[in-house]
Amino acid sequence: MTGAELIALTPLWLLGGTAVLILLGIAVKRSHAWSCALAILGSLASFIAAFRLSASAPVPVGVLLVADKYSLFFTSLLAAGGMFVMLLGYGYLKSYDGDREEFYPLVLLAVLGAAVLASSTHFVSLFLGLEILSVALYSLVSYPMEKKEAVEAGVKYLILASATAAVLLFGMALIYTATGAMEFKGVAEGLAGAGGMTPLILLGFSLMIVGIGFKLAVVPFHMWTPDVYQGSPPPVAALISTVSKGGVFAFLFRFFTIIPIGRHPSLVLLFALISGGSMFAGNLLALRQTRLKRILAYSSIAHLGYLLVAFIAGGETGVEAAAFYLVAYFIMMTAAFGVISVLSGPEHDADELDEYRGLFWRRPALAVVLTGALLSLAGIPLTAGFLAKFYVVTAGIGRALWALVIILVVNSTIGLYYYLRIIVAMYKRVEEDEAGGSLRPASAVSLASGLALLVLVMLTIWFGVSPSGLIELVRFAAAALTGPGVP
């Protein structure tokens, strides 16, 4: 490995090195505050390094990874997502009786795995990134081990991720058998040499899509997703819904740009069915839920369906739309789970809809933050979510994906109901005895959590009103993946 390659991997070294440093510190002396501060500094350094290195990109790192503007953009996004999760996790774990320090290296490792996915150009690095991400998430989901729900969710996630790995590996093995290559470019060349989709290659791609579908929790691979969200601590649910999905989606776009999906109608049809099914299932199933984490879980399934419209559209516009949407999605989902984190404690998660009745009259700042996140998720104008959906619709119309665009618009309308139901409950005046005893004494919001929520709600409005800077960044990232000379 050359010096240039080592420098290109600086964001990844910083994430992994910080995790190791915190573990060594824990062996000497436990300190919740110092572990969190060190983890935040490591993530911030990785975020800054990714931006600084974009000037010298692209730099191939052997055949396994590449540090181009696309991967560095997603690495910075994932590092920022991890930072917000750790800030929220600090407030959530302050009153936790067990060991709290290990939470932070696990979050860093999850971000590292997702960043490896975004940089992967080879099946080996793809599988390595997935396993780093998955193993960290197993532990994080069941972190409060004294809670039955958390342990159950961790076991379910373990089974789900194990099945995903097996199916994905089998698919990669079939593609390797047919093409003789594991590097993405080599697979594309082998596919061209084979004259198109042979039955073996089609089966291999289908199995890979099944594995990816489980990771993204899209229909019909979403079965245990609401249970996992339900049992996870709220900051971990935020991590699963953002960092985990973002890393896999970044890989998906790179892989099917090198191997253009538009040339294979069978794959386009398969993704279109998954997209439409995810939009309908996610929104319709969310209508009957009364627990916020389950509502957000089904909402995330629908939003991944929206994102797949941009993926199917492809090209530079599709990549731009997906990158912008993912930034907005990270912000609004983290903000929504952040409010749940602040209102929750290690013994009880503030999850029932009844607990949010009259929230504005008790905790106005938190109600405003959650309102902003929900309005953005619903795609209301002047929020980042509105522009994100508009971008995706534009990409879909540009490729004449009329059926998917209509389904997206219809489902956005359906989604308004359950988002507005939560908002109406928050602003409704209720007496304490009417709330069935669900109103608990207000606890102070930690400085870390308060700062995170403030920044998130400001970004939701800022990117909805003045998105030009972010649009320029996503265009640079898209051009690195789809520009002239890129296979």
Q: Where are the domains of the chain?
A: 3-482
Which pLDDT tens digits describe the chain residue by residue (487 residues)? 678 888 889 999 999 999 999 999 998 888 888 999 999 999 999 999 998 888 777 888 888 998 889 999 999 999 999 999 999 999 888 877 778 889 999 999 999 999 999 999 999 999 999 999 988 998 898 888 777 888 888 888 888 888 888 899 999 999 998 888 899 888 888 887 776 678 888 888 889 988 888 888 888 888 788 888 888 889 999 999 999 999 999 999 899 888 877 677 888 888 999 999 999 999 999 998 889 999 999 999 999 999 999 999 888 888 999 999 999 999 999 999 999 999 887 677 888 888 888 888 888 899 999 999 999 999 899 899 999 999 999 999 988 889 999 999 999 999 999 999 999 999 887 765 454 444 454 566 778 888 999 999 999 999 999 888 999 999 988 888 876 444 4
Q: Are 367 and 427 in contact (CB under 8 A)?
A: yes
pLDDT of residue 441: 47
Is the bond into 220 cis (omega within 30 degrees of 0)? yes
Question: What's the distance, CA 107 to chain centroid?
Answer: 13
- pTM greater than 0.85 (yes/no): yes
Residues 6+ apart with CB under 8 A from 32: 90, 93, 94, 100, 101
Query: Which residue intervals of 180-314 are DSSP H helices?
Result: 184-193, 199-216, 225-231, 234-239, 245-258, 265-286, 292-313
Residue 383 to residue 299: CA distance in whole angstroms: 17
Q: Is 272 in contact with 242 (CB distance < 8 Å)?
A: no
CB 348 within 8 A of CB 234: no
| Whole-number pLDDT of residue 316 | 86
- First vs last C-alpha separation in the chain: 24
Residue 96, both tokens: 């936790």
| Whole-number pLDDT of residue 431 | 64
pLDDT of 485 reads 44
Please give the pLDDT value at position 22.
Answer: 94
Token pair belonging to 126: 């793809």
- 85-123 burial, b at 16+ Cβ within 10 Å, e below that, comes to bbbbbbbbbbebeeebbbbbbbbbbbbbbbbbbbbbbbb
Residue in 257, 171, 173 with CA at minimum distance from that of residue 212: 171
Of 479, 340, 473, whose CA–CA distance to 51 is shortest? 473
Task: Give me the pLDDT at residue 436, please.
Answer: 42
Q: 194-200: long-range contacts (C-beta < 8 A, 24 or more apart)?
A: 196/264, 197/264, 197/266, 200/174
Q: What is the three-class DSSP state of 183?
A: strand
Own/partner pairs, 165-169, CB within 8 angstroms, 24+ separation: 165/127, 165/130, 165/131, 165/134, 165/211, 167/207, 167/210, 167/211, 167/214, 168/127, 168/130, 168/207, 168/208, 168/210, 168/211, 168/212, 169/127
- Name, in order, each residue with C-beta under 8 angstroms of 413's C-beta and a sequence gap of 6 or more: none
Question: Residue 444: its pLDDT value, please?
Answer: 65
Contact at 8 Å (CB) between 316 and 388?
no
What local confidence, expressed as pLDDT, does residue 482 receive?
72
At residue 351, what is the residue type?
D
pLDDT at site 443: 61
* DSSP classification of residue 67: E
The angle subtended at Cα 265 by Cα 264 and Cα 271, nearest 5°, is: 100
pLDDT for position 487: 42
The DSSP output letter for 120 is B
